[in-house]
Amino acid sequence: MQTTLRKMLALLAGATLLSTAQPALADEPLARFEDPVCPGVMGLRVEYAVQVVARIRANVEALGLRTAPDGDCEANLLVIFLDDGQAYLQRLNDQRSWLFESLAHSEKRALLSREGPVRAWVSTETRTRDGMPVRHRDNLTDIPLAGGWSAHSLIYVPTREDITSSMVLIDRGAIVGYSFDQLADYATLYGLADFVPEADSETPSIQRLFATGPESAPEGLTEFDMAYLRRLYSSIPNLPAHTRIEGLEGVAKRQ
């Protein structure tokens, strides 16, 4: 029942869930969308895909985020239902390896070897506080630099980490018995966040959707899930990670 701040900071330092990317330090910003979100679904009948997209859009708007025009945007939060997610990832790696450029080698290896019915990851770009891209370091001597006006602060950092796209892969064989709203809420959590703090076994969370089975799974995003997403997307984008998760312990205790 007690998800302590110390445990969350430990997770920030090293643990991974579905998305293999993880903040290197608790003082670094967590990745989030700054561009309008455009959900898309593949692998379902049209009427079911429309339902999932509508639910994700409703969740995004409930968080106060911008959505791109429905039916007239290129999906940057893509949910794919398929027979074998691991095999699909291997094909992507062979044919479009650039999709994994934002992942470290160890993160990419963990993602490609992940077992289970679900896989998710995000592509990110480091930008300045004002949204200017910061190029990647090509060698050990040329350090990426970006200019801008900013006051020294102990509250926020000079850069932010923007999600440019996210992908959630769900094996079709695992969705029997679940509602499309449950699946959409699960995809919302892992599509909007690069890092999700793990709820303990007594705290209701959609993150355990496929671990508990349809009968005991939450009907949708729980108070804990929404509290985290609200914190992730509140205030300025360049707050350090530890600032984002402070106070979630209290939410878990109320569950």
Q: Which two tokens stand for residue 215?
A: 């009968």
- Name the amino acid, one letter, at 160: R
Residue 123 confidence (pLDDT) above 80: yes
Quote the CA–CA distance of 103 and 111 in Å, as a whole number: 9
Q: What's the confidence (pLDDT) of residue 32?
A: 95
Mean pLDDT, the chain, rounded, equals 81
Question: How many CA atoms, within 13 angstroms, populate the side-chain half-sphere of residue 191?
Answer: 28
d(CA 178, CA 213): 8
Which tens digit of pLDDT belongs to each residue from 32-90?
Answer: 999 999 999 999 999 999 999 999 999 999 999 999 998 889 999 999 999 998 888 88
- pLDDT, residue 8, reads 39
Q: How does pLDDT run across 85-114, given as a tens digit for each residue?
A: 888 888 988 888 877 877 778 888 888 888
What is the C-alpha R_g of the chain? 18
Q: Evaluate whether residue 138 is within a structural domain.
A: no
Task: Look at residue 11 and tell me whether its pLDDT is greater than 50.
Answer: no
Domain span holding position 55: 5-133+156-254
Q: pLDDT-based confidence at 15, cuts 50/70/90?
A: very low
pLDDT band at 20, cuts 50/70/90?
very low
Judge contact between 49 and 41, C-beta under 8 A. yes
Separation CA 14–CA 99 (nearest Å):
23
Neighbours of 91 (CB within 10 A): 10
Least confident of 44-58, 133-147, 207-221: 133-147
Q: Are residues 249 and 2 in contact, defined by beta-carbon separation less than 8 angstroms?
A: yes
SS3 84: coil
DSSP string, 12-47: HHH---SS----SSTTSBPPB--SPB-EEEESS-HH
Mean pLDDT of 202-224: 91
Query: Using CA atoms, how far apart are residues 80 and 217, in angstroms rounded to an integer?
Result: 21
Tell me what percent of the residues of the chain surpass a pLDDT of 90.
Answer: 43
Whether the Cβ atoms of residue 243 and residue 29 lie closer than 8 Å to each other: no
Contact criterion met (CB below 8 Å) for 33 and 192: yes
Is 148 among the domain residues?
no
The verdict on residue 175 lying in a domain is yes
Give the chain's domain count. Answer: 1
Q: pLDDT digits over 226-240, tens only? A: 999 999 998 888 888
Would you say the pTM of this structure is higher than 0.75? yes
Of residues 28 and 166, the one with the higher pLDDT is 166
The answer to whether position 218 is within a domain reads yes
Does residue 144 fall inside a structural domain?
Answer: no
In this structure, are residues 160 and 34 in contact, taking their beta carbons and an 8 Å threshold?
yes
- Spatial distance between the Cα atoms of 106 and 129, rounded to a whole number of angstroms: 28
- Position 236 in a domain: yes
Kindly give the interhelix angle for 223-232 and 180-192, rounded to the nearest 10 degrees.
30
What does the angle CA 114 – CA 43 – CA 54 come to, to the nearest 5 degrees?
105
Residue 161, domain member (yes or no): yes
| 237 inside domain | yes
pLDDT, residue 198, reads: 85
